Each structure stands twice: as structure tokens, then as C-alpha cells.
Structure 1
Amino acid sequence: MKNKSLGLNAFLNGLRSVLNIIFPIITFPYVSRVLSVGEIGKYNFSNSFIQYFILIAGLGIATYSVREGAKFRGDRQRLSEFASQVFSINIISTIGAYVLLFFCLLLFNKLHAYLASILIFSIQIIFTTLGTEWIYTIFEEYTYITIRSIVFKILSIIALFIFVRHRGDYLNYAAITVFSAVGSNVLNYLHAKKFCDIRLTLRINWSEHIKPILVIFASSIATTIYLSLDTTLLGLMKTDYVVGIYSVSTKMYNIVKNLIAAVLTVTIPRFALLWGRKRVREFRNLLLQISDVLALLSIPTAVGVYMLAPQIVLLLSSQKYIRAVTSLRLLCPALVFSIFSWIFASCVLIPAKRESKVLLITIISASLNLILNIILIPLFAENAAAFTTSLSEFISMLLDIYFCRDILKGIYGKKFWKDVLLYILFSMTIIPICLAGSVLFESTIAIIVFDVGISVIEYVLLLIGVKNSNAIELVDMVITRLND
């Protein structure tokens, strides 16, 4: 099968990420004004809580399937057999997740206040399994995924303005969120027949699949602990108001991180393919290229979000959420750390079948996150949660580098580190631009447009001035598109 263009895939996945950004940018300011801070807190607590059961249902199968399935994408029969086995395992784990969820709802009285919203969000569990998103990742089918996202995001925005109009409509908001996230997954399951034949089967090679799946699953649990436990602990140790404030910070953090990560996500199946077929030189070259691009993007983004935090909070919500500025700024370092941690874990350690190292790394990071959250949240509330997230991502990145140091040896030479230093220095020019924007304009939107526009232009011009290859290729691509 012909390889898909990584550039095109990055563009399409970037477009899909932009759509995921536009959706909350359009919806959250509206919702935050219609609903109370407490209702936003209930919404986020329920959504955060159900993510643990989505994780249990997923069982690490998506990551495992991309790694192993990429080797079979030219052989429909072998891929169909593989896909049917992992899908059947996924159905079993989904049933187990629902049993555990209902047990928790019966056992813990505190959850009864969130019962309706939790049950709505629980619909995601089965539809995520049916979605078989990993098949489309294996085949790098980002065109289909992007078109599907456009359709369902538009429908969701229309539904939001129709059904979320008064205080108390947070359950409608939850249902629309579920529809937006997994509404198309039945179509995914049916459309997947284009690539392979998926069916339920009892003929499962458990000895081959279960160990790597469980190791990846354990890693996913630990990762979820330090990504989601902060919200859960805030809900248990503080109030819905505090969760509502923190949700504004994490909303923007996740929006920006996912946009940058769109470049990385499309390369994961390619890394698995190259390593699986022992094309080591191509693997190393691609790793260097992707690392350089992500450093170029993530460093100035972190600086920009830090400087524009007050305006971002006001744009996404309203003055009543302005307290979220501090926690958003504390999350900014994690924008860089999490991206590079993801590179080394998903693009190096997992393809190299070192998932046991990923498990160890995530256990250490998650344990640190848990301990610090328990100690600091009573004292510093949402700011403690933000700080521990950044620290955990940093520790995770360092440990990832350590455990794949033999593979990384010789990849990152002087040129790479010189480029990183330039990205840091050029990113510092964003600071005076943002300070000037706050003096020149009063409108939140005007400040953001001015700061982002001038900062991007200056950053690109500086990179072109030092003949940075990535910046020059970007400008050439834009000029080519405009001339077409």
C-alpha cells in the first residue's frame, strides 16, 4: 500500500485539531455564561470520573493495535484476523468497565449527586470501543476522520445553541459533548470494512496479546492518574467552584497541547512501521525531524500562553473565572515537557516494545503526582494541581530519555541543540510584544489578535534570518498554496 504523505496527514490532523479548538472556543464562553460555576464543576467532575472507565474499557488496545497492526496493513486476511481478536478482547473489557462503574455508583454515596451526568458520559465507553479508531490510524486515513469531525462538530454546535439556553441545562451540555465526541463511531465501525473484516470471535491468541496489552494498559492507568486525578481530587477535597475554575485552565492547556500534538500523532504509525521493518536509519531521521518541528512549535507556544493567560481566560469564559490565570500559567511548562515525553514514549519506547519501561516511568510520575496533590491541594487548591502536572510531565520526560538513551545516541547533534537555543531566544521576543499589546488595546480580542499576529510574524522572520530549514519550508509551502 502506498504510504500517505506525512505533510498531508499532519495538515489534516492539524485541521481536525483546529476543529476541536474551535468547538470549545465557540461553545465554552457561551456555556460558561449560561451555566453556573458549580454546574461547570459538576460537568467536569463527571467527565473526569468517567475517563477512568473509558480507560478500563480501552485496556491499552488502541496503542497495541497500531503498533502490531501496522505490520499487517498490506495483508487484509492477517489484519482481519488480528483486528477481530483485539476487538473481541475490547468488547470483554468494555463489559467489565460497565460492571465496575455500576458497582462504584452503588457503593459511593457522594457520586449520587452526579448520577445523571455520569450516566450520560458513560455512553462514551461503548461507542469508543465500537469506533475502532485504531484501524484508521494504522492506515493513516486522516481525510475520512477530518470530514467526519467537521460534520459532527457543526451538528453539535447547532444542538448546543438550541438545547443549552438556561441555568440547569448542564445535562444537555453533557449529552451534546458525548454526541460530538463519539456520535460518529457507529459509522466508523461500518466503514472499517473497507480495510478489514471485524467480527466477534472466541478464537483469541491470549498468550500473544494479553501481556503487552496489560502492560500498556497499566501505563495508561498511571498516565491518567497524573492527567486526570487532579480534577478528581479537587472535586473530592475542595468544591465544585474550584473544579470549575481549574477546568478553564485545563481546557486551554489541552486545546493547545492537542494542536501541537497533531503533528506528532500522524507519525506514530509510521514510527511503528519503520521500526517493525527494521528501517532504523529512516526511523532515526524521522525522529530528529519531528523533534525539531515540535521544539519549534511548543517553546514559543508555552511563552505565548503564559503572557496571554488573562486574555485567554476572559475569551474562553468571563471575569468570574479570572482566578484561573495563575493555574493556566503554572501549566505552561507542561506544554513542552508533555510533548517530548510523548515523543519518546509513543514513538520510541512503544515501537521498540519497551512498554514495561513506559509502565515504570508512568508509575513513578503518577505516584509523585498523587502524593504532591494530596499534600498541596488543601493549601493551594487548583494551583497545586497545575504545578504537580507540570512537575510530573518533566519527570516523565527525563525518565523517557533515560530508558531510550541507546536508541537516541547520536541522533541529537550540535545543530539540533543550536536550533533549540534559538527557539528559546526568539520566543523571548514574544514578551515585549504582549506587553505592548496590553498597553495599546483594551479589547481582549484585539490584544490577542495583535499579540499572536505580530509574534508569529516576528518569530518566523527571525527563523528565516538564521536560515532555519523548517521555517523556510513552511514559507515555501504557503507561497506554493497561494499560487495554486
Structure 2
Amino acid sequence: MKAIKNYLYNLIYQILTILLPIVTIPYVSRTLGPDGLGSFALSNTYAQYFVLFGMIGLSIYSSREIAYVRDDESKLSKAFWEINFIRVITVGIAFILYMVLFGLILNSSNKIVYIMQSLVILSSLVDISWLFIGLEDFKRVIMKNIFVKLVGMVLIFCFVKHSSDVWLYALILGITQLVGQAIMWFEIPKSIIFIFPNTRNTVRHLKESIKMFLPQIAINIYTMLDKVILGAITNTAQVGLYDNSQRIIKLIITIVTTVATVTMPKMANFHKNKQYEEFQNYIYKSFSFVSFLAFPMTFGLIGVCKSFVPWFYGPGFEGIIPMFYIGSFLMITLGWSSILGIQVLLSIKREKQFTIAVSYGAAINIILNLILIKKFEGVGTTVSCVVAEFTGMFIMLFYLRDIINFRKLFKPVGKYFISSLVMCFPIWELSSYFNSTALNSFIIVLIGAILYLTMMIITRDAILIYALKLLKSRMRKSREAYGKQIDM
């Protein structure tokens, strides 16, 4: 039960971090246009690179380290302040270098946009979400973050009015992110007391985080460098189209990949305590759950995007449709990789194997981008990304052959694939037949969900049965609690 609650809280948190720009896209895409959104995406990509090098692998390492020591209050306090000490130094240096390069040296008409993006780096400096991930405790920070995100959304609708307001859009998103991270400091558990960082332990944390840094560099090659290459070879409009297709896909896939983020600390704890049977069971259950969600999401997006894109983005974004057709398969491979890589390889400290897997994917991504972008533009970038992700995922499978029974792992996948494919055909036809409106898209999605769930009921899917039993149990407890209140 606790794992499910943590999943839901973390899911809300992860979605919030990208939901603000998604919800405002129908408005912003019409106001800023493909070029404006492309300028924002490109400048944000450069800022994210400075975050990447400033963090030096701390984002994943920190939550794992907290999971290892969370049962000892003294060690927990030490780890928290030692990791934060490293973060202030490394991210602080990254912030200074960014401001020198883009604030003083850069000579561009978009200079103010780049300066506004520096808030993204400051946000990572104060971010302590890794503490709550490691403690498996998200309830503390969710409600305040919801409020901050909603305020940011209102500000965008109120003040972003013209195509030249890209800098204002970046400013609002940056401030929203910074405030959202800063308020977490008011929710630190009282058991964490200030302990001056130990130099030896700080160096140890730094060395261990660098091991995590190498695979993160490779991962970010095909999450950020592809936009840089696309912008250099084509134009900012193509970057805007590609970036927005990726935003929708990654928002949807967050529902799936959150499983790995939540369960990684628990898996690390199982492995540390040599609870190997529980460790393996978690792998199979997580993989099945991810597949249960990822396949209908993939084929559902393919089926509905012809109805969805015109009303959601407005004129000038028609080129995003083929990117959805291809990019939707990222939901499957990113979902599987999150389990195999983050939940398993990193939790058992096989960072080297994880690094090799994503490095091969990164190399393929760069090669394919250079070959395909000139002719196919953003669609070529999408193809490169999908092929790269599947390559990395298959290499992870190879490295886990001593832990995982592949037959058991993939046993439920065929059912999810066939059911999703069957669902896709009718919603594809409906998407072509109906006019492009928000209501029609909602109806199509609802029909697709009903079709898929019906097939899951017919096949008596274990994931669905468990979810229904859990829902029934929660409803019964709520009725009992309500009955007691009436009796009183």
C-alpha cells in the first residue's frame, strides 16, 4: 500500500514539473509560434547542459544514498548535508560559467532569453527532491508545488501576449521551478539536524556520483543534443515542432517511468539486505505494470493524434503528426529502460554496464542524426532517438541475463501488444472521421480506453484485477470510516 501511495505522490510531482508548459501549449503555440517555441527550447537545452555538468550525477546518486542510510538518523543527516555541500559548489560553478558565457560573451538577439534560462540552473542548486525520493515520502511537498505551478500557469495567460514574449515565458517558467524547489526546504524532516560536512565523506560522495555522471552524459546526448544538431542543420521552427512532440510523449511516459523512480530506493534496500526473491519479484511486477500502461499509450497516441494536433497546437504545427507516429514508441522503450536501468542496474551498483548501454545508444543517435536530419529534419531526429533508445534497452537486457528470466519477464507483453493494436484501428478511423475538436479527441480517447480495459477484463489481466481489488478495498474502508463517523 505504501509503495502505491509513493507511486501516486511521485507521479503527481513528476507530472507537475512538465505539466505547466504542456497545459499552456495550446495558448503559447498560437502566441509565440513554432519559431518562438523553438527559441525557448534551444536556449533551455543549453541551460540543461550546464545543469547536467553541475549536477555530476548527483540527482540519481543522492536518492540512492539516502535510501541506504534512511534508517539511521545520524548517517542520514550527514549524507544530506555532505551531498548538499557538493551540490552548492558544483552547480554554483556551472551557474557562474553559464552567466559569463551567455550573459557577457554571447552576442545574440535572444540574449535575454538565455539569461532568463539561468533560473533553471539555480533551481537545481536548491533542489532536494532526491531527499524525499530516498525517504519514499512525497506527501509533504506535493500540495505547495501544485499551488506554485497553478500560479505560474495563470501568469503565463495574463502576461505572455506577443510573439516577442519568449523571454517572459522563460522567466515565468524559471521562477515557478525555482520557487517550487525552494519551498521543499521548509518540509525537511525534524530528524535531520545540521552536521558540518566531513571532507573524506564528501570526496567519497563526489567519486560515487561521478560514476552516475557518465551514463547521464550519454542519456542526455539523445535528450538534448538532438535539438542542438537539429537547430544547427535546419531551423528553430523544426526544433519547436520536435521539442513539442517530445514534451507530450514524455509527459505521458512519466506515468510509466515514475514506477522506476519510486521503487529504486526500495530495490536498493532489498539488495543491500540480500532479499533477492523480493528483489526479483519487484522486477517482474514493475515490468508488467509498465507494459500494461505503455502499449495502450503508444498505440492510443498514434490513433488519436490526427484529431488531437490541429485543435491543440493550431496552424503551423501539422509537421508534428509524423513525429508522433514514430516517437510514440519511445513510451515502450523508455518504460522498459527505466525498469532495467534505473530500477535494477543502478540499484545494484552496476553503473558501468548502465553506462555502456546508454553510450552505445548515444553513439547511434549522433550518427543517425547526422545522416537523417538533412533530408527528414525533425522526423529524422525522432527516428534516431527511437532507434537509440531501443539499442540501449536491448543491451541492458543482455547485461541482466544472469538476474532475469526473460520468458517470465516478457510473458504478459504479447497480450498488451495485441490488445493495444486492436484498440488502435477503430480510434484511428474515428480520428480521421471526426472533426478536430477537444471534445471529439476526448471521446476518441475514452472509447480507446474502454476497448482496452474490456480486453483486459476478458483476458483476466493480473494487473487490472489487482487494481480493482485495491480500489474495492479502499472504497470499503472509506464506507466503514464514514459509518463510524455517523455512529459517533
TM-score clears 0.5 = yes
Q: Does structure 1 residue 333 correspond to structure 2 residue 329? A: yes
Name the aligned partner's letter for residue 3 of structure 2: L
Q: 1:362 aligns with which of 353, 358, 364?
A: 358
2:412 counterpart SS class:
helix
Aligned-partner Cα distance in 1 for 2:297–2:446: 13
- For 1:29, the equivalent position in structure 2 comes to 26
Aligned partners of 2:65 and 2:134 also within 8 Å: no
> Identity over aligned residues, as a percent?
25
Aligned-partner Cα distance in 2 for 1:406–1:104: 47
Name the aligned partner's letter for residue 414 of structure 2: L
- For 1:321, the equivalent position in structure 2 comes to 317
Aligned partners of 2:78 and 2:197 also within 8 Å: no
Aligned-partner Cα distance in 1 for 2:105–2:219: 24
Aligned-partner Cα distance in 2 for 1:480–1:448: 33
Q: Does structure 1 residue 61 correspond to structure 2 residue 58? A: yes
Deviation string for 1:335-373 (max 9, x for gaps)? 111111121111111111111122222222111111221
Deviation string for 1:414-433 (max 9, x for gaps)? 5x533211111111122222
Name the aligned partner's letter for residue 310 of structure 2: L
Deviation string for 1:138-163 (max 9, x for gaps)? 11122123213211111111111121
Q: 1:446 aligns with which of 416, 436, 439?
A: 439
- For 1:39, the equivalent position in structure 2 comes to 36
Name the aligned partner's letter for residue 281 of structure 2: N
Q: Does structure 1 residue 401 correspond to structure 2 residue 397? A: yes
Deviation string for 1:160-212 (max 9, x for gaps)? 11211222111111111112323222222343253523566362435532332
Moved more, 350-359 or 287-296: 350-359
- For 2:454, the equivalent position in structure 1 comes to 461
- For 1:374, the equivalent position in structure 2 comes to 370
Name the aligned partner's letter for residue 82 of structure 1: A
- For 1:281, the equivalent position in structure 2 comes to 277
Q: 1:427 aligns with which of 415, 420, 432?
A: 420
- For 1:147, the equivalent position in structure 2 comes to 143
Moved more, 465-474 or 95-104: 95-104
Name the aligned partner's letter for residue 424 of structure 1: F
Aligned-partner Cα distance in 2 for 1:234–1:208: 39
How many pairs align?
477
103 and 379 in structure 1: CA distance in 2 versus 1, 3 angstrom threshold: farther
Deviation string for 1:445-480 (max 9, x for gaps)? 233222211221121121121221111122333445
123 and 63 in structure 1: CA distance in 2 versus 1, 3 angstrom threshold: same
- For 2:89, the equivalent position in structure 1 comes to 92
Moved more, 50-59 or 145-154: 145-154
Aligned partners of 2:215 and 2:355 also within 8 Å: yes
- For 1:178, the equivalent position in structure 2 comes to 174
Aligned-partner Cα distance in 2 for 1:207–1:48: 29
Correspondence list, 1:170-319, <5 A: 170-198=166-194, 201=197, 203-206=199-202, 208-319=204-315
Aligned-partner Cα distance in 1 for 2:26–2:179: 23
Aligned partners of 2:336 and 2:393 also within 8 Å: yes
Name the aligned partner's letter for residue 282 of structure 2: L
- For 1:125, the equivalent position in structure 2 comes to 121
Deviation of the 1:131 alpha carbon: 1.8
Deviation string for 1:95-123 (max 9, x for gaps)? 221243245438975x6333211221112
Name the aligned partner's letter for residue 346 of structure 1: I
Cα RMSD of the aligned pairs, angstroms, is 2.2
Moved more, 310-319 or 117-126: 310-319
TM-score (normalizing by structure 2): 0.92
1:428 counterpart SS class:
helix
Aligned partners of 1:25 and 1:316 also within 8 Å: no
61 and 199 in structure 1: CA distance in 2 versus 1, 3 angstrom threshold: farther
Deviation of the 1:125 alpha carbon: 1.4
Q: 1:345 aligns with which of 341, 349, 354?
A: 341
357 and 114 in structure 1: CA distance in 2 versus 1, 3 angstrom threshold: farther
Aligned partners of 1:16 and 1:146 also within 8 Å: yes
Q: Structure 1 runs of 4+ off > 6 angstroms?
A: none
Name the aligned partner's letter for residue 344 of structure 1: L
Aligned-partner Cα distance in 2 for 1:127–1:265: 20
TM-score (normalizing by structure 1): 0.93
1:225 counterpart SS class:
helix
Aligned partners of 2:144 and 2:183 also within 8 Å: no
| Structure 2, unpaired ranges of 5+ | 479-488
Name the aligned partner's letter for residue 261 of structure 2: T
152 and 200 in structure 1: CA distance in 2 versus 1, 3 angstrom threshold: farther
Aligned partners of 1:248 and 1:313 also within 8 Å: no
Name the aligned partner's letter for residue 464 of structure 1: I
Aligned-partner Cα distance in 1 for 2:175–2:37: 18
178 and 138 in structure 1: CA distance in 2 versus 1, 3 angstrom threshold: same
Aligned-partner Cα distance in 1 for 2:246–2:309: 11
Aligned partners of 2:304 and 2:431 also within 8 Å: no
Name the aligned partner's letter for residue 321 of structure 1: F
Aligned-partner Cα distance in 2 for 1:363–1:291: 23
418 and 403 in structure 1: CA distance in 2 versus 1, 3 angstrom threshold: closer
Deviation string for 1:347-404 (max 9, x for gaps)? 1111111111222222221111112212221221101110010001000101111122
Aligned partners of 1:248 and 1:317 also within 8 Å: no
Name the aligned partner's letter for residue 366 of structure 2: L
Name the aligned partner's letter for residue 314 of structure 1: P
| Structure 1, unpaired ranges of 5+ | none
Q: 1:14 aligns with which of 11, 14, 17?
A: 11
Aligned partners of 2:330 and 2:386 also within 8 Å: yes
Aligned partners of 1:275 and 1:283 also within 8 Å: yes
Deviation of the 1:435 alpha carbon: 3.1
Aligned partners of 1:105 and 1:112 also within 8 Å: no
Moved more, 140-149 or 422-431: 140-149
